[in-house]
Structure 1
Amino acid sequence: MIWSEITVHTTAEAVEAVSNILHEAGANGVVIEDPEVLHREWDTPFGEIYQLSPDDFPTEGVYVKAYLPVTSYLGETVEEIKTQLNQLLLHGLDLGKGTITLTEVREDEWASAWKKYYKPVSVSERITITPVWEDYQPKRADEIVIEMDPGMAFGTGTHPTTVLCIRALEKYIQSGDRVYDVGTGTGILSIAAAKLGASEILALDLDEVAVRSAQTNIKVNKESGKITVKQNNLLDNMEGPVELVVANILAEVIIRFTDDIARVLVEGGLLIASGIIMAREADVKQALVRSNLEVVETSYIDDWVAIIAKKR
């Protein structure tokens, strides 16, 4: 099958918003090419990402690539994407160059080519993420291995915001905790919570593709007994109570539902929030305080922030 690869040259700040637009346009896949990974230092002596070439990345900004089947109405779809990108500018989001380019690719070539970039990575003291096609063997007795099949639509679990959330889960989760994973995507944070001792996890996402992706990965990791996946908008109609909410989504979205987070948490319950750029850190913290959530820790990787807050 022939696909059209649509590349948007944008900024790290706009990656999530641009990705959402591409998904809404019907894209069956998204790839994020951020030159930051070329310079990232991994705190592990094994399992590094390798075979990365600077020639595959922009010298500045980020490439967000989506895949649409070549059809008679592809032109109209691209014009709609351009319109939606312009709307982001009106809301003050920095798109950088904001250019769009199209290239035709064959599905079999694309599906095999990108896998060379995805290798086992140790993302915390105990957790290693590995693609399902790698024959990875644990290096330590207490090592937790999460197998991921990101498919064509979602990330590999090694993005800084995901790593920040996993490290926070490892530090704060208690055996028997009930968890809401808001914007679950591939389900990786739900899987991590289950393997770290949570007793009951509800993984929520508005995107049908995300729901299917999460269900697949949860089954691969044999955690279906603990995790339920549901298509849902944020915490709408969720009653709780739960001991922990994890949300790896845009700062603008977190700000919008801090009251709901406080509502579903038990007294002393925790929020782990990421997907936040440093420029929005103060805004998110202010919203949390207004909702009676006390910030107890802030952690960083590059320009990304994770905030841990407790219900007073």
Structure 2
Amino acid sequence: MKWSEICIHTTNEAIEPISNILHDLGASGVVIEDPLDLIIEKDTMYGEIFELDANDYPEEGVYIKAYLPTNSSLGETVDAIKLAVNNLRTFDIDLGENQITLSEVDEEDWSTAWKKYYKPVQISDKITITPTWEEYTPKSKEEIVIELDPGMAFGTGTHPTTILSIRALEKYLQGNETVIDVGCGSGVLSIASALLGAKEIYAYDLDEIAVTSTTMNAKVNQVDQLIHTKQNNLLQDVHMNVDVIVSNILAEIIVRFIKEAWDNLIQGGYFITSGIIQAKKEMVLEQLEDQGFEIIEVNELEDWVSVVAKKK
């Protein structure tokens, strides 16, 4: 079977919304080629994530590559992708170059070549994320290993926004909490919460693929009894009393459900948000404070920001 690779030259800000568009329109796998990964110091605190070739990367911006079956509807699908991507400008999302190219690849080449991008990586003091096909032996009894299949949805969990979220969960989860994961994607934050001691996690995502992916990855990590997945629009019609709400999505989406997050948190509960670019940091902080949240921490990694807020 022949596959077509669609390559979108865009910005870091546009990675998550464009990835969602590609998944919604039938892409089988997404690869992000970000030149920032090339300049991460090799001797970092937690080690290298990728084996990279600089020739695969743009000088500015990022490449988002996805794979579509080469069939009679390919042209219509590509047109739909272009339209949806261009519509992101209505949300003030910078698309950068916004150049889209198409090329043909063999299924066998695609199905194995993309795996070179993903290796086991320790992303926090306790947690290591490893692809399911990699053999990995924990370095200590305290190390927590999360196995993910990035072919399901939304990458391997090693994006800076995910790392920031997991480090916050590791710091603020003490055990026995109830957690809501808004926009669960591959389920990595729900799984991390369970392995860090949360007693119950509710994982919501509007995308059916993400809900399926979270369910499957939860089973792989043997925490499916603790994680309740559901297709849902943010916190719409959710009425609970939980200890922690975590959400790794765009800043423009976070501010839409700050009131619902407040209503679902217990007094003293934490709202952990990530997926925020520098330019949108103040907007998120202002709206959190307007709702009554106390800002506990603002953390940054590369061009991304995470905020930990507390219901006073």
Q: TM-score range by the shorter chain?
A: over 0.9
Cα distance in structure 2, aligned partners of 1:109 and 1:243: 46
Change in Cα spacing, 1:232 to 1:13, as seen in structure 2 (3 Å) is: same
Could you say which residue in structure 2 is the equivalent of 1:190? 190
Which segment drifts farther, 144-153 or 227-236?
A: 144-153
Query: What is residue 82 of structure 1 aligned with on the other side?
Result: 82
Q: Distance in 2 between matches of 1:278 and 1:31?
A: 23
By how many angstroms is 1:50 displaced?
4.0
Q: Match of 1:168?
A: 168
- Do the aligned partners of residues 152 and 214 (structure 1) sit closer, same or farther apart at CA in structure 2, a change above 3 Å counting? closer
The offset of 1:265, in angstroms, is 0.3
Match of residue 31 from structure 1 = 31
Matched-pair contact (CA < 8 Å) for 2:130–2:136: yes
- Of 33-42 and 223-232, more deviation after overlay is shown by 33-42
Q: 2:246 is paired with a residue of what secondary structure?
A: strand
| Structure 2: distance between partners of 1:229 and 1:216 | 10
Tell me which amino acid in the other structure corresponds to 2:127. I
State how many pairs are aligned. 312
- Distance in structure 2 (CA, Å) of the matches to 1:246 and 1:237: 17
**CA shift for structure 1 position 305:** 0.4
What is the letter of the counterpart of residue 71 of structure 2? T
Q: What is the CA deviation profile of residues 217-252 of structure 1, one whole-angstrom value per residue up to 9, with x for unaligned ones?
A: 110100012111111111111111100000000000
**What is the match of residue 147 of structure 1?**
147
Q: 1:274 matched to which residue of 2?
A: 274
Of the structure 1 ranges 248-257 and 67-76, higher mean CA displacement relative to structure 2 is found in 67-76
Aligned mates of 2:81, 2:305 — CA distance in 1? 28
TM-score of the aligned structures, taking structure 1 as reference length: 0.96
Please name the residue that 1:261 is paired with. 261
C-alpha deviation, 1:262, in angstroms: 0.3
2:14 is equivalent to residue 14 of structure 1: yes
**Residue type at the aligned position of 1:159:** H
What is the rounded CA distance, in whole Å, between the counterparts of 2:182 and 2:277 in structure 1?
Answer: 18
1:246 corresponds in structure 2 to: 246
SS at match of 2:64: strand
TM-fit CA distance, 1:91: 3.7
**Residue pair 1:173, 1:193 contacting (<8 A) in 2 also:** yes
Checking the alignment, whether the CA contact within 8 Å between 2:152 and 2:213 is kept in structure 1 is: no
Give, as a single letter, the amino acid of the residue that structure 2 aligns with 1:88: L
Q: Within 5 Å, which residues of 2 pair with 1:209-224?
A: 209-224=209-224
**Cα distance between partner residues in 1 of 2:204 and 2:41:** 32
Query: Unaligned regions of 5+ residues in structure 1, if any?
Result: none
**Shift of the alpha carbon at 1:39?**
1.3
**SS at 1:72's partner residue?**
coil
**What is the CA deviation profile of residues 97-137 of structure 1, one whole-angstrom value per residue up to 9, with x for unaligned ones?**
10000011122211211112211101000111111111100
Q: Verify: 1:294 aligned to 2:294, yes or no.
A: yes
Identical residues among aligned pairs (%):
56
Contact 1:176 1:198 in 2 (8 A): yes
1:73-99 per-residue CA deviation (whole Å, 9 max, x = no partner) reads: 211221222222222234432111100
The answer (yes or no) to whether the contact 1:245–1:265 under 8 Å persists in 2 is yes
Check the 8 A contact 2:15/2:64 in 1, yes or no: yes
Return the alpha-carbon distance in structure 2 between the equivalents of residues 44 and 216 of structure 1: 31
- Residue 48 of structure 1: how far off its partner (Å): 2.3
Q: For 1:59 and 1:98, locate their aligned partners in 2 and report how far apart those are by CA, in whole Å.
A: 14
CA distance in 1, matches of 2:110, 2:38: 21
2:13 counterpart letter in structure 1: E
Distance in 2 between residues matched to 1:142 and 1:43, nearest whole Å: 23
Contact 1:47 1:120 in 2 (8 A): no
1:231 aligned partner, one-letter code: Q
Cα distance in 2 for residues equivalent to 1:117 and 1:39 = 15
Structure 2 length-normalised TM? 0.96
What is the CA distance between 1:45 and its match in structure 2?
A: 6.7
Contact preservation (8 Å) 1:294, 1:310 = yes
CA distance in 2, matches of 1:136, 1:45: 19
SS in 2 for 1:257: helix
CA distance in 2, matches of 1:152, 1:242: 28
